[in-house]
Amino acid sequence: MTVVLDLTDLCAEVVGAASGDEEVEAFAQESTRTDVRARGGEVEALTFAESRGVGVRLIAGGRMGYAWVADPTSQEVREAVVRARTNAALAGEDEHNALPGPARPEPLEGLFRESLVSMPTEHKVTLGLDLEVAATRLDPRVRKVQAAGYGDAVSRVAIASTRGVSAEYRRTDCWCSVSALAEQDGETQTGSSFRQGRDAGDLDWVACAREAVERGTRLLGARKPDSGRVPVVLDPAAAVSFLGVLAGALSAESVQKGRSLFAELLGEPVGSSEVHLVDDGRLLEGPGASPVDDEGVPTRRTSLIDRGRLSAFLHNTRTALKGRTLSTGNAGRAGFRSSPGVSPSNLFLVAGKVPPGELLAGAEGGVYIQEVSGVHSGANPISGEFSVGASGLRITGGELGEPLREMTVASTLPEMLMAVSAVASDLRFFGGTGSPTVLVGEMTVGGT
């Protein structure tokens, strides 16, 4: 019979195994997930998952080591501490390696909803199946989906350290997505849509299906545009792809290592006055919300670009010590299997006042981009140069017109930020990143 240690017991075991002046931190996490994938009116896959584990960060003499273990016994927990100690001994010394002290985070009401925990599996399956059916009944050109599904996770995190950190929280997350296949005259286009929330009541799956169908069908008949410089409107999904690259450049870690295009620009204008970029770990509407970051520091709202002016970077405890400032509560990690780096919580471009349709009027003859691809490989996070693939629609008479495919869009992130001339009111989140529709001045669009 295996004895299952509670997360707080796991953390206590880790912290109790510290010796001498070592600083030791435990990050323990457990989650239960359900995932439904529908296809052809049937459940293609139904997955139940339970996982848990603990990560140990140990700092001794300014050297940091890390070790992690999935679902450990008490014995394995102690062994992990020993491994972290061995690893620390081989690492380079850095006076800024330190754990944060204790804090009293404000609880974040609404992050956890019992309604998701008690939702029967059958309802989840039905939601996945219904989403597929909805997407295939809205337009005769969409009879199939590439993928449709529902997923959720109930998770718990506990963090404790020899410095006195002791934090714990629970959260619920759920999402649904569909990728519609639009077909006409032997041509196929895809349109995707995604919704997320804290319980299934947050998911407007009918709107999700409608959006996927619209995004797929409106690309039918697309052709390559002529190459040239034209105004560009980015829809929220496309804009978010670029924000992901900006997030890396706004991390103090990148800045301190000279790997950010913003390195020397604090306080300087880096965008047009329309650009107001914020990170807010307490914004419940964003999926990246949590009361504390991944080393137990309370989260907060940080204005990164304020009306075009670079106002702050994202910090964890280590970068804050190095930069002689305070952590912004942006320590982040990919679960217990990795040590904390710097990552945004909910990073978003603050919405403007005009409806998205009005932006089109200012971009006559330009291109509305609904999807970009290859941003991670096509953008240089240091120089900010990028050239990415895109699909979208020609803007004609203030409206969306002819569909366009196999376009490339090339510019640099600094030029693009400076060229933002209007930001619409339709802020949407995709994962932890959000943006409204954005009008950018002229960019080079490549085609034939």
Partner 1 sequence: MESDSLLVDPTLAADVLRAALARGGTFAELFVEERESLGVRFDDGKIEELDTGLDRGAGVRVVRGTSAGYAYSNRLDRESLLEAASAASASARDGGPTQPVGLRRIEPEVRHVAERSAGQVPQDVKVQWLREADEAARAVDPAVRQVVAGYGDSVQRVMIAASDGRLVTEERPRIRLVVQVVAARDGIIQTGFHGPALVAGAEFVDRFPPAGIAERAARQAVAMLDGIAAPAGEMPVVIGPGGGGVLFHEACGHGLEADLVQKDSSIYRGKLGERLASPLVSGVDDATVANEWGSFSFDDEGWPAQRTVLFHEGVLEGYLYDRIRSGRDDVASSGNGRRQSYAHLPIPRMTNTYILPGESSPEDVVADTSRGFYAKRLGGGQVNPATGEFVFGVTEGYLIEDGEITRAVRGANLVGNGTGILQAIDAVANDFDTFVGTCGKEGQGVPVGNGSPTLRIARMTVGGTA
Q: Which of 373, 377, 356 lies closest to 409, judged by CA?
A: 373
Residues contacting partner 1: total by CB under 8 A: 77
- In angstroms, the CA 166 to CA 296 distance is 7
433-435 and 347-349 beta bridge pairing: parallel
DSSP code per residue over 190-243: EEEEEEEESSGGG--HHHHHHHHHHHHHTTTT-BPPPPEEEEEEE-HHHHHHHH
Q: Considering beta carbons, is residue 282 or 405 the nearer one to partner 1?
A: 405
User: Which of 7, 14, 17, 66 touches partner 1 (CB under 8 A)?
Assistant: 66
CA distance 145 to 130: 12
When asked if residue 74 is in the footprint of partner 1 (CB under 8 A), the reply is no
Least Å from the CB of residue 226 to partner 1? 10
Q: Does residue number 303 form part of the binding site for partner 1 (CB under 8 A)?
A: no
Is 154 in contact with 169 (CB distance < 8 Å)?
A: no
- The pair of structure tokens assigned to 251 is 């991390």
Pair 80, 68: CB distance under 8 Å:
yes
Q: Rule CB under 8 A: is residue 39 a binding residue for partner 1?
A: yes
31 counts as binding partner 1 under rule CB under 8 A = no
Q: Which lies closer to partner 1 via its Cβ, residue 52 or residue 428?
A: 52
Residue 337 sits in the site that holds partner 1 (CB under 8 A): yes
Which residue of 5, 12, 60, 69 would you call a contact of partner 1, by CB under 8 A?
Answer: 69
Helix 74-90 and helix 7-16, axial crossing angle in degrees, nearest 10 = 50
With the C-alpha atoms ordered 158, 14, 165, 256, is the resulting torsion angle positive or negative? negative
Instruction: Give the Cα separation of 263 and 253 in Å (integer).
Output: 10
Show contacts with partner 1 in window 87-106 (CB under 8 A): 87-88, 90-94
Query: Taking contact as CB under 8 A, which single stretch among the options 244-252, 295-303, 331-339, 431-439 is the one that binds partner 1?
Result: 331-339
Is the separation of the CB atoms in 181 and 220 below 8 Å? no
22 or 426: CB nearest partner 1: 22
In whole angstroms, the minimum distance from the beta carbon of 181 to partner 1 comes to: 6
* Beta carbon of residue 177, minimum distance to partner 1 (angstroms, whole number): 11
Lookup: tokens for 430: 């995709």
Token representation of residue 432: 């932890």
80, containing H or E segment: helix 74-90
Q: Residue 350 CB, nearest distance to partner 1 (Å)? A: 29
> How many whole angstroms separate alpha carbon 96 and alpha carbon 98?
6
**Count of CB atoms situated within 10 Å of the CB of 244:** 18
Q: Rule CB under 8 A: which of 357-386 touch partner 1?
A: 373-374, 376-378, 380, 382-383, 385-386
In this structure, what token pair is assigned to residue 236?
């929220």
Shortest distance (Å) from residue 65 CB to partner 1: 6
Asked if 314 is part of the footprint of partner 1 (rule: CB under 8 A), the reply reads: no
- For residue 98, the minimal CB distance to partner 1 (Å) is 15
Report the nearest approach of partner 1 to the CB of residue 50 (Å). Answer: 4
From the list 239, 149, 187, 203, the residue with the least C-alpha distance to 433 is 239
Select from 187, 188, 189, 191 the least CA-distant residue to 179.
191
Stretch that binds partner 1, among 64-72, 128-136, 355-363, 420-428 (CB under 8 A): 64-72
Cα–Cα dist 294/284, whole Å: 17
- CA distances (Å), origin 163, targets 22, 24, 103, 296, 394: 10, 8, 10, 11, 58
User: Which is nearer to partner 1, 271 or 384 (by Cβ)?
Assistant: 384
Nearer to partner 1, 378 or 398 (CB): 378
Residue 328 or 411 with smaller CB distance to partner 1: 411
The answer to whether 51 contacts partner 1 (rule: CB under 8 A) is yes
- Residues 170-209 vs partner 1: string with x where CB under 8 A? -----------x------xxx-------------------
Q: Please select the residue that binds partner 1; options are 339, 343, 345, 346, rule is CB under 8 A.
A: 339
431 near partner 1, judged by CB under 8 A: no
Q: Cβ 43 to partner 1, closest distance in Å?
A: 5
| Residues 134-163 close enough to bind partner 1 by CB under 8 A | 144, 146-147
The nearer residue to partner 1, 181 or 422, going by C-beta atoms, is 181
Kindly tell me which residue out of 20, 21, 42, 353 binds partner 1, with binding defined by CB under 8 A. Answer: 42
| 389 binds partner 1 per the rule CB under 8 A | yes
User: Tokens 């990552």 map to which residue?
Assistant: 343
Residue 338: CB minimum distance to partner 1, A = 7
What residues between 250 and 289 interact with partner 1 by CB under 8 A? 257-259
Task: Provide the H-helix boundaries in 375-438.
Answer: 375-378, 413-418
Q: Which of 49, 133, 206, 284 binds partner 1 (CB under 8 A)?
A: 49
